[in-house]
Structure 1
Amino acid sequence: MKSLLMAMTASAVVLGTAGGAAAENWYPYSVEVWDPPFNMESPRSSADYVPLEKASKAWEICISFPHMKDAYWLAVDYGATEEAKRLGVKANVVEAGGYTELNTQISQIEDCVSAGADAVIIGAISYDGLNNVVTELAEKDIPVIDVINGISSDKIAAKSLVSFGEMGAKAGAFLAELHPEGGDAARVAWFPGPAGAGWVEAGNTGFQKAIEGSAVELVDTKYGDTGKEAQAKLVEDTLEAYPDLDYIVGTAVTAEAAVPILRARGLTDQVKIVSYYYTPGVDQGISRGQILAAPTDSTVVQGRIAVDQAVRILEGKDYQKHVGPALYVVTQENHGDFDSASTLAPGGFRPVFSVE
């Protein structure tokens, strides 16, 4: 196990310390390890993640995403497919088209396995809705790696993800620090994402707990698909309902959609924006002073680790069952120190659906 993870102190987890995740040698990378695994409340330890140098054979890995409608999932696709290339394994990537398409995701996974997949990596549409298919795969000795979103099944083989509860909490804590108890109320509309998704429910819980006891007043919570049109409509409706709003906080798509809407309404100085995860649009918004802050979960690295976990399991090698990159908040003040290669696909990257 020492060859996989080397102990490190938490104080070493700082902006810019991890090597460029786009590079061939993206590792070692600062992570947290949950033990016991598969319980987000378990104690965590800090470590450096070191993947295999090469796979022993060209394993076939099926990778299933909810969609690739935004840059967040493009970054996961980039990380996973680049790691498949680096390790020398095959990858077949499928995307269901959105968070309403659970049945499509299930059928795509079944088709992928029928085509010969040795392992399956799933970015789940639903926290509970994939449990039956995960059980079916486990009975066939096909390991399932839960990436990014979270699956409740105890039949999964590994998790490559962070606590979205903590992501939401970091966004909430950022606001609570700006508006502590006893200060003037800050009226906030919260857009956590599509109802029912595991990451959304966790993010919502984390955010709401983090603002308890502060001067942050949550005036509305609006769930919705993470398509740009869906989020833009939610933002427009909210601004109509709450003309004295102070903050829009939510998904990266919400944040990106809100920038031009606020500009068009002349509300840029009145209503501030915070995202609870990171995309190129959020990165640009922070650098331009249009978005205040966003925590990063090193999306590219999560995709890379999931592929490495799959290969380790298939080859019977030591692996960490539950691991995710260490989280930190990128703000306008520290943006210059942020290593974007850990989180964002390169400019101009187009989805990769097959690695041969």
Structure 2
Amino acid sequence: MSGKPSAVPWSTLGLTLAGALTLTQSAVAQSENWYPYTVDVWTTPFDMSSPREVMQYQPVEKASKPWDICVSFPHLKDAYWTAVNYGVVDEAKRAGVGMQLVEAGGYTNLNNQLSQIEDCVASGADAVIIGAISYDGLNNLVKNIAASGVPVIDIVNGMSSPDISAKSLVSFGEMGAKIGEYLVAQHKDDKEKVKVGWFPGPPGAGWVEAGNAGFQSAVKDSNIEVVETKYGDTGKEVQLKLVEDTLEAHPDLDYIVGTAVTAEAATSLLRARGLTDEIGVLSYYFTPGVYQGIKRKLILAAPTDSAVIQGRIAIDQAIRILEGKPYTKHVGPQLYVIDESNIDSFDSDSSLAPANFKPTFTVAPQ
């Protein structure tokens, strides 16, 4: 296995400046391939507060060997992770590498994720892509894997480990901030307080803590009042119970804001209680349910982090590292908010798996 290359000038990576962002993601979607794709590249990798450069991401055409890449997700219980699943599966097929995916069953199952990854590496994986259950809880394992010469790519959720090789993820702090800023803008001229129930997701997960900080910061010193913050696993039953409890405690609530699962659960509950026109719903990330909710005017808005693209880039990062090719250490698709004004024009293929896609755990190398 070749050693890990160091960072190199972007021009050698097949990346070019995006100019004035005249190339939109919709235009990219019309091309035969998913790339080039507009991304942010962190100037100081792994420092989420670092300045970023706007680039056009270009993956390798084909891998030089049929590498075996292990992918670990927290779960596949919702359509967000199905979208990331589609990204890693389709990109592995396109590049001609093998892929084995394991999922831990939920955010309470850290030990399960640890043992699954250990088994994956023991079975001969050349690289590991991890959507981490815990921000800090996998650090010892990652250190041991990296020490054995197997590169680790951090995808979507974020880890604090200094031993990872690359990150394919966005700032969930910025995701939370974007939906907070959107809500503030809707009520900037209101005199009265706007009461919000906020549901950031599973406690302890890196993306949740970041999303919460971003949202709370965005609404601070505005007329948005967060009357309740409730954490919980992103299973629909869990989120539904949290929303029900909040409505009981705060019958005068104006908005429900939170995970995509929260938003999807809330729309059904509000419809059943005849409150659809009384309480607004927003999500701070994007799924097919959120997509349909916005189209049906049941959900107001959500930022998209192009989950499919994050999966694709992680596979490409793994291939580049294994083959000793230049690679970007920290990449994330640019964020933008989807609402009724652009729901019919944005590049949905970057964010959603095809309707007929089913969770896929194995891709045979070609």
Partner of residue 96 from structure 1, selected from 104, 107, 110:
104
Change (3 A) 1:272 1:15: farther
Residue range with higher mean Cα deviation, 174-183 or 194-203: 174-183
Deviation at 1:14, TM superposition (A): 4.2
Over the residues paired in the alignment, what is the CA RMSD in angstroms? Answer: 1.2
Counterpart in the other structure of 2:241: 233
**Cα separation, 1, equivalents of 2:59 and 2:272:** 47
Partner of residue 41 from structure 1, selected from 49, 56, 67:
49
Asked whether the 8 Å contact 2:25–2:37 carries over to 1, the reply is no
**Cα separation, 2, equivalents of 1:4 and 1:154:** 26
Partner of residue 69 from structure 2, selected from 53, 57, 61:
61
Partner of residue 143 from structure 1, selected from 135, 146, 151:
151
Counterpart in the other structure of 2:346: 338
**Cα separation, 2, equivalents of 1:6 and 1:30:** 10
Asked whether the 8 Å contact 1:10–1:46 carries over to 2, the reply is no
Asked whether the 8 Å contact 2:25–2:38 carries over to 1, the reply is no
Instruction: Give the secondary-structure state (helix, strand or coil) at the position aligned to 2:26.
Output: coil
Asked whether the 8 Å contact 2:155–2:167 carries over to 1, the reply is yes
Change (3 A) 1:6 1:284: same
Counterpart in the other structure of 2:26: 16
Counterpart in the other structure of 1:7: 17
Counterpart in the other structure of 1:325: 333
Instruction: Give the secondary-structure state (helix, strand or coil) at the position aligned to 2:353.
Output: coil
Asked whether the 8 Å contact 1:62–1:91 carries over to 2, the reply is yes
Spell out the pairing of 1:1-356 with structure 2 (5 A cutoff): 1-2=10-11, 3-12=13-22, 14=24, 16-19=26-29, 25-180=33-188, 183-356=191-364
Deviation at 1:180, TM superposition (A): 1.9
The letter of the residue matching 1:11 is: L
Asked whether the 8 Å contact 1:5–1:49 carries over to 2, the reply is yes
CA offsets 1:29-66 (integer angstroms, 9 cap, x no match): 00000011000000001000000000000000000000
Deviation at 1:11, TM superposition (A): 3.2
The TM-score with structure 1 as length reference comes to 0.97
Instruction: Give the secondary-structure state (helix, strand or coil) at the position aligned to 2:198.
Output: strand
**Cα separation, 1, equivalents of 2:362 and 2:14:** 27
Deviation at 1:28, TM superposition (A): 0.2
Counterpart in the other structure of 2:5: none
Instruction: Give the secondary-structure state (helix, strand or coil) at the position aligned to 2:263.
Output: helix
Residue range with higher mean Cα deviation, 171-180 or 276-285: 171-180
The letter of the residue matching 1:47 is: M
Deviation at 1:183, TM superposition (A): 2.6
**Cα separation, 2, equivalents of 1:285 and 1:15:** 22
**Cα separation, 2, equivalents of 1:63 and 1:324:** 18
Instruction: Give the secondary-structure state (helix, strand or coil) at the position aligned to 1:318.
Output: coil
**Cα separation, 2, equivalents of 1:314 and 1:109:** 18
CA offsets 1:224-270 (integer angstroms, 9 cap, x no match): 00001100110111111100000000000000000110011111011
Deviation at 1:337, TM superposition (A): 1.1
Residue range with higher mean Cα deviation, 174-183 or 50-59: 174-183
Deviation at 1:279, TM superposition (A): 0.2
Change (3 A) 1:178 1:80: same
Change (3 A) 1:216 1:161: same
Any stretches of 5+ residues in structure 1 without a counterpart? none
Count of aligned pairs between the two proteins: 354
Asked whether the 8 Å contact 2:42–2:50 carries over to 1, the reply is yes
**Cα separation, 1, equivalents of 2:82 and 2:152:** 21
Deviation at 1:19, TM superposition (A): 2.2
Deviation at 1:5, TM superposition (A): 1.1
**Cα separation, 2, equivalents of 1:331 and 1:278:** 11
Deviation at 1:187, TM superposition (A): 0.3
**Cα separation, 2, equivalents of 1:24 and 1:119:** 28
Asked whether the 8 Å contact 1:176–1:214 carries over to 2, the reply is yes
The TM-score with structure 2 as length reference comes to 0.95
**Cα separation, 2, equivalents of 1:118 and 1:179:** 51
**Cα separation, 1, equivalents of 2:277 and 2:362:** 45
Asked whether the 8 Å contact 2:128–2:153 carries over to 1, the reply is yes
